[in-house]
Amino acid sequence: MYGKSINRLRFFGNKKSLENITLGFLKETVPLEETRASASPESVAKFVKQGYKVRIEKNLGILSNFSNAEYEKAGGIISTTKQIFQSDVITKINIPTEKEISNLTEKHIWISNIYPGRNTKLAEKISKTGANSYALDCVPRISRAQSMDVLSSMQNISGYKAVVEAASSLPRFFGGQITAAGKVLPAKILIVGGGVAGLAAIGLAKNMGAIVRCTDTRSLVKEQVESLGGIFVPVPFNESGDGRGGYAKEMSEDFKKAQKKMLKGNF
């Protein structure tokens, strides 16, 4: 996820060659709640091949089912937290803790979620250390940046999981069946919102045999829904929800009333 951004560090004032840059991957500090790791053995192998020195905090990927031995085989060096902070670039997924911030200096480049828009104090604390920081949650959600877009990747998974859980809760099949015992009609699924999560949900529900409908405030979603085999259901109200950059905008109260009425109806 970080490969492309790290390859460009020399353009951000870092005078070191790639071969002399050390990457440090920190273990997450919310155990059992956070099972992700900021590097996999596969990504570590790619960084090592490019010439980086890679330090991996011990047990970084245990909850992701990656052993320390796998990271070492990929070329990573299993390290302590103190050794990780001797790296030039330090990454993790969640926001830095107070202790981690206190270890940052102007020699560091920090990469993680930071959420500066809603957590200005945290952003200011990191800035005061002198370290260069990159908030992954602020990566523009465009095609060129998707390899670094942590929001889209997580929403893709959430849409998939929502359908799996819905199928588990529904006391019938998603797909239709014709057997000697009788006929079972396919389930009818309505997905509200055709963003990254919604499109992932449509794809899986359709593959499971359901009749899938999707509604969204944005007109541009219609083509995407239909390309996955879904049926687009527009809100019967003349107001566009298309905002800047493909995002939805805030809708009027009259639109919301029409939307609620539609959702309660039989479509």
List active site positions: 141, 146, 149, 152, 247
Q: Find out whether 177 and 184 touch, Cβ atoms under 8 Å.
A: yes
Residue 49 — left, alpha, or beta (φ > 0 → left; ψ -120 to 50 → alpha)? alpha
Rounded to 10 degrees, the C-alpha dihedral 115/95/45/160 comes to: -60
List C-alpha distances in Å: 239 to 218, 248, 249, 260, 263: 9, 12, 11, 15, 17
Rounded (to 5) percent helix, strand, coil in the chain: 40, 15, 40
The values of phi and psi at residue 256, to 5°, are: -60, -35
The encoded tokens of residue 157 equal 């998974």
Q: Distance between alpha carbon 13 and the CA centroid of its chain, in Å?
A: 28
Angle of CA points 151, 4, 243, to nearest 5°: 40
Helix (H, G, I), strand (E, B) or coil at 211: strand
